[in-house]
Structure 1
């Protein structure tokens, strides 16, 4: 077989076997999905690498090749959620943007896994600064940018005053839903999101 004179192996010989990379990525995604299931079923304190591996249909070594502990695995999964973030609406009005954000947030918090996982991880974060930082990024920092963009556009349209507080906007958007869905665990009454949307817009000083 001819060589190019560089002394390196031919490209065909260096190429990974067909399908190998896809298989590895499939395993990684299966493990990440299993983390959510295990967190919802067992909670962070009782979850184990063995349980995650069993749910993912892989061996423990497949998990340990990627993450050295369950904390680092959970940190990675939580960080991935932060990167995905919340979509930034652009309906053309503050009331429309706020209503859409409330709908997306309520749908996410109603999910059975979210309602079990988030309170458990917040409790665990009190004992783990690393987890606390990852949760802050996933549950606050990523959404703060969305709230800031919504507020900025409303200011440009003249709907809000220049000095409006974007962090207050985020508190008003997420606080009531978190309290209702994850703390008191009440169902949202009919018309609640419409009423909350109107209250948020009014509280921000919309003109």
Structure 2
């Protein structure tokens, strides 16, 4: 009787294993292509008319690639805004209240001149007025970095004796950013270094009053 060859063992001939479905790594080049497509779409049509389909088409990917990273166009745009709003926002340390406020105004003026901010913030504020969930998301993306700066500026000024204890950082932020936002985003007028100097002086005077 002829012996039949025994089948190869699993150890001798391992079968290729498939990676778990949830283990796929998101490619960074695809993520960056989507972000670039968002910027282009914002410049072309604005936030309200922008769609995930158009973003995917411009990026050369499927809609699934977008939704694997962000659950909606709102979250995609908020992610972009949060990223550039967080950049370069250390607490100023000039040694004086006026210098710190002036540095805050300079940073925020640059943020408001950013193409994403100028294209999308007005639309987002309209959407936020209609939807509390959007309002909370916008608040987190736009406000937290600036609030940390204001808290640091006020704390240092109180420690130096330039401001009274209990000075409200939110009040400081309102005094500083309100006029700047109005001028750059609503009126869309140029902001000169002299304007920022004068606004810094007015903010300091208001906080000390």
Once superposed, what is the RMSD of the aligned Cα atoms?
Answer: 2.8
CA distance in 1, matches of 2:83, 2:140: 10
1:177 and 2:153 matched? no
Cα deviations by residue, 1:186-205 (Å, 9 ceiling, x for unpaired): 11245111111111111111
CA distance in 1, matches of 2:143, 2:73: 23
CA distance in 1, matches of 2:68, 2:79: 14
TM-score normalized by the length of structure 2: 0.79
1:114 and 2:117 matched? yes
Determine the structure 2 residue equivalent to 1:4: none
1:142 and 2:145 matched? yes
Determine the structure 1 residue equivalent to 2:163: 160
CA distance in 1, matches of 2:68, 2:147: 34
TM-score normalized by the length of structure 1: 0.80
From the superposition, tell whether residues 163 and 191 of structure 1 become closer, same or farther in structure 2 (CA, over 3 Å). Answer: same
Q: How far apart are residue 123 of structure 1 and its match?
A: 0.8
Q: How far apart are residue 111 of structure 1 and its match?
A: 2.6
Q: 8 Å contact 1:31–1:56 — kept in the other structure? A: yes
From the superposition, tell whether residues 110 and 144 of structure 1 become closer, same or farther in structure 2 (CA, over 3 Å). Answer: same
Q: 8 Å contact 1:37–1:113 — kept in the other structure? A: no
Question: Which is further off, 59-68 or 101-110?
Answer: 59-68
CA distance in 2, matches of 1:159, 1:131: 38
Question: Which is further off, 60-69 or 102-111?
Answer: 60-69
Q: How far apart are residue 63 of structure 1 and its match?
A: 1.3
CA distance in 1, matches of 2:112, 2:64: 33
